[in-house]
């Protein structure tokens, strides 16, 4: 939820889906809670540095409303809301997952604020998440570990894994260097949107 690279990857994926008119493909965004993975919350300054590098290099149209002062101290409440949405159905889950990231990265909202989460939940008439949604975060995390998740974002299509397929990211002399990865993205979307076999 905190990862700006994931935001870019998801936006590009759903934009490609729209261009191809493939509404049959629904994205299941699983929780990879960085505060649990890393043992501590991610630094807001680090995320701001990554966002600046992304905007300068590959995504000038994104993160336009990001507000460092509204950076959430935790993602667990937002991840819980997304899990509750997926408990209803896959499309609701995808919608809420994308809406949460838009609220954080494009609208500058604190998605740890209960009022903000309630407002996003109301968009789909979603009730307050329960204990099952909290457990789903931990289940997703363990599932990611079993699958061999490297970091965020790591996409899976059936048995094929794609780590950050939209971007090439390196750090040179303590500065982020980010470029688009057209070959990686082409391979990724070709797998995602492969035509299902026709029925006999």
Q: Which mean pLDDT values do the consecutive 10-residue runs of the chain (200 residues) have?
A: 97 97 96 92 93 96 96 96 96 98 98 97 92 93 95 94 95 89 96 70
Query: What is the structure's pLDDT at 131?
Result: 87
pTM, entire model = 0.93
For residues 34 and 190, is the Cβ–Cβ distance under 8 A?
Answer: no
Spatial CA neighbour of 143 closest among 83, 190, 94, 74: 83
Q: How far apart are CA 49 and CA 53, in angstroms?
A: 6
Radius of gyration of the CA atoms of the chain, in A:
17
| Residues with Cβ within 8 Å of residue 155, at least 6 apart in sequence | 9, 13, 161, 162, 163, 165, 188, 192
Q: Which residue has the tokens 């939940």?
A: 121
Q: What is residue 200's predicted lDDT score, i.e. its pLDDT?
A: 44
pLDDT at 199: 42
The encoded tokens of residue 67 equal 């507000």
Residue ranges per structural domain of the chain: 4-141
What is the token pair recorded at 184? Answer: 């990686």
Q: How far apart are CA 142 and CA 128, in angstroms?
A: 24
According to the model, what pLDDT value does residue 196 have?
A: 64
């Amino acid at each position: 939820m905190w990862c700006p690279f994931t935001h870019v990857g998801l936006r590009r994926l759903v934009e490609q889906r729209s261009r191809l008119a493939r509404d049959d493909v629904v994205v299941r965004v699983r929780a990879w809670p960085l505060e649990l993975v890393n043992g501590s919350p991610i630094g807001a300054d680090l995320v701001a540095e990554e966002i600046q590098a992304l905007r300068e290099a590959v995504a000038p149209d994104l993160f336009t409303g990001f507000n460092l002062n509204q950076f959430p101290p935790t993602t667990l409440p937002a991840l819980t809301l997304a899990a509750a949405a997926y408990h209803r159905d896959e499309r609701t889950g995808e919608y809420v997952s994308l809406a949460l990231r838009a609220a954080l990265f494009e609208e500058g909202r604190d998605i740890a604020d209960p009022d903000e989460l309630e407002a996003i939940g109301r968009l789909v008439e979603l009730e307050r998440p329960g204990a099952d949604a909290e457990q789903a975060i931990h289940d997703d995390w363990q599932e990611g570990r079993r699958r061999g998740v490297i970091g965020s974002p790591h996409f899976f299509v059936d048995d094929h894994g794609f780590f950050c397929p939209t971007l090439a990211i390196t750090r040179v002399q303590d500065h982020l260097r980010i470029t688009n990865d057209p070959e990686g993205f082409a391979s990724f979307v070709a797998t995602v949107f492969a035509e299902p076999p026709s029925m006999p």
